[in-house]
Amino acid sequence: MLQTMREKSKSWVTFVVVGVIAFMMAITGLESLAPNPNNSDVAKVNGEEISRYKLSQSVDQQRRAIIQQMGERFDPSLVDDKLLQENVLNSLIERALLLQAAKSGKMDVSDFSLDQLILSIPEFQQDGQFNQEQFQMVLRSVGMTPLQFRSVLREDILMNQMQSGIAGSEFVTAAEIQKLNSLERQTRDIAWLTLEADKVRDNIQPSEEEINAYYETHSERFMTEEQVVIQYVEMKKADLKSDIEISDQELRDEYHHYTDQLKETNRDKQQVSTILIETGDKRDHAAAEERAAEIAARLAAGESFAELAKTYSDDPITADKGGDMGMVEDGFFGIAFDDAISTLEIGEVSKPVETEFGLQILTVTAREKATVPTFDEVKAQLLSDLQAQEANVLFLDQSRLLADISFEASDLTQPAEQLGLDIKVSEPFGRQGGTDEITSNPRVISESFNEEVLDLGANSELIEISPEEVLVLRVKDHRQPEQKPLEQVHDSIVQSLKAEKTRDQLQKQAEQLIAQLQEGVDSKKVASDAGLEWSESDKAARNQPGVARQLLTAAFKMPHPAEGEQVFDRTELPGGDTVVIALSQVHAGEAAIDDVAQARMMASYIAAGNGRVLFGQYVRSLKDDAKIKIYDEDE
């Protein structure tokens, strides 16, 4: 039925569709994944094989996703091909196991549900409605048939159902929510003394002997950065393209080739309307023929095709539009369909035609002839395309030549002269890279500090900056780390010594105060003798306003005090101050949650987290019980 040709998605399904399309677009793989002539499979899962081609497709899909996610920041050297392949293979194994489990559990997706799901996919809609032409264009652009798309989409829905069913079985009891809510709402009576770092720091003045000793002891902190200055020759595809000349005859030959291809792919279109009479479970063939004959007779009597389609057609999508299927190209609905509409004049109605969807009565309401542009209209584009094609070949050849010459040469003079390239020199940069496009490139940084390049003075390997730019470099100047003069780092050493001495003094003072408090000395006297004042916060919550977060974190980690007693601790605040904390009482939080919606949200959040863990355990159990064989490259 025509309804089976539609596609749909709800929120998450949009991502499934994008993933499916990306998967089908992946037609090339990594060289390391080239099929082994002796074994075209990479793994076997309970007897089900995973082919090297499928792995290659999936690896390429993931690589495309990484490139799209990182955008201009993408660097090929940051992608570990081996790790990527291992992760993708593991995902394919898990997918196979889950689909096998779904099949074993007799899980399935009904055709009706799949149809309804397909109908709402945004990629197949225009103005919020399913559009037949858009649907045809998207599937055709990725080389998929409707049956292929339905098959992949059905598997993804089953996978989602499996995960939802298992993860969704987790729940949190009311008692657990109440306990968590009680802990979350717990409050504590706390007081604290603040030992200010500034007062201590201002009174510290390190001696020159201490400064000198610190300089000698921590000499590694005061080293200049190891740096290199590199020479490099770069080759850009764009530069090669601009120098390529294309003759007028070559352009005209390409134009003829272009138009020949265009005539094959850009075919005439017909706007077709249909009345579908389904066969199969709904009615047998004889009943369908009888119904088709009745409709044909009424059409012959002059009744409206659109009105009869609304009444009799078994395809709800086109029926609502009076049978209108939109603009249709040859080859999409089968040979019988194409043969029937090819002989129809506009407005003429066909006899009942038997197609894979049932019996169809067809009429052509409009025709659109394919147009072929003139030579002058496409000349500029053809010139650019031919230059790009030749530049691709030339760039590949020249890149290989640059690599070969550079490997044999003792410097960059020879490759620069032979290939007409300029030798460029960088600014100094370290292992963290420089500020321009070249010296900030991870591959350039890595090669610049490569042992053979750095220590042996060799030219680097060919470095791919982007798919359209490569370079070879060598180190012109290697600047070893040197200890900075004491005068240059004197002030920073003073600040470091002050910070260390301040921290030590405050910690000792805090420990002394805590010792007095633990011995039972009156807390007011302890504070008074130290020239300090207690700050207090009764029933402080975990996010109490006006109280430092670090102080609250430490206070809520302290053990519960015995009745009528206190416990003490200390912590350091971000500015360097140290606080002595006294915890006198812990108040249990309200267990009940008055807001039902909040309780449900909390329960859902916790159950979702537990569900993800449970699903992960389920997948691991499938692996543990499965017979999984992963083939080596040479098997």
Question: Phi, psi at residue 483, to the nearest 5°?
Answer: -70, 130
Of the residues 315, 338, 368, the one at which a domain ends: 368
- 9 and 100 belong to one structural domain: yes
pLDDT of residue 73: 60
- Phi, psi (degrees; rounded to nearest 5) at 364: -95, 125
- Rounded to an integer, the average pLDDT of 260-287 is 79
Which of the listed residues 336, 368, 400 is the one where a domain comes to its end? 368
Q: Tens of pLDDT along 369-411?
A: 767 788 888 888 888 888 888 888 888 888 999 999 999 999 9
The answer on 449 and 345 residing in a single domain is no
Kindly report the average pLDDT of the chain as a whole number: 83
Residues 422, 380, single domain; the answer is yes
- CATH number, domain of 18, equals 1.10.4030.10
Percent of the chain at pLDDT above 70? 88
**Same-domain check for residues 207 and 285:** no
Whether 455 maps to a domain, the answer reads: yes
User: Are residues 238 and 380 located together in one domain of the fold?
Assistant: yes
Output the DSSP codes for 516-531: HHHTT--HHHHHHHTT
Which residues constitute the domain of residue 322?
267-368
Residue range 125-150: mean pLDDT, rounded: 73
Mean pLDDT is lowest, of 218-232, 404-418, 593-607, for 593-607
Domain contains 542: yes
Q: Which helix (H) or strand (E) holds 129?
A: strand 129-130
Do 100 and 218 lie in one domain? The reply is: no
pLDDT of residue 24 exceeding 50: no
Residue 68 pLDDT grade (very low, low, confident, very high; cuts 50, 70, 90): low
What's the helix, strand, coil split of the chain in %, to 5? 50, 20, 30
Which own/partner pairs from 396-399 qualify as long-range (CB within 8 Å, at least 24 positions apart)?
398/235, 398/240, 399/235, 399/462, 399/470
Q: Is residue 616 part of a domain?
A: no
Which tens digit of pLDDT belongs to each residue from 181-192?
A: 888 889 999 999
215, 299: one domain: no
d(CA 173, CA 175): 5
Structure pTM?
Answer: 0.47
237 and 286 belong to one structural domain: no
Q: Is the pLDDT of residue 421 over 80?
A: yes
The last residue of a domain, from among 479, 514, 536: 479
Asked if the model's pLDDT at residue 267 lies above 70, the reply is no
Structure-model confidence comparison of residues 572 and 154, the more confident one: 572
User: Rounded mean pLDDT of 108-130?
Assistant: 82
Helix axes 81-104, 596-625, angle to 10 degrees: 100
Most confident stretch, 100-114, 181-195, 311-325? 181-195
Q: What gap in Å lies between CA 110 and CA 10, rounded to an integer?
A: 16
CATH number where 325 lies: 3.10.50.40
Asked if residue 326 has pLDDT above 70, the reply is yes
Q: Does one domain contain both 382 and 471?
A: yes
104 and 198 both lie in a single domain: no
Burial of 33 (0-12, 13-18, 19+ CB in 10 A): buried
Q: Looking at the structure, tell me whether residues 536 and 442 fall in a common domain.
A: no
At residue 445, does pLDDT exceed 70? yes
Residues 454 and 354 in one domain: no
Could you give the number of structural domains in the chain? 4
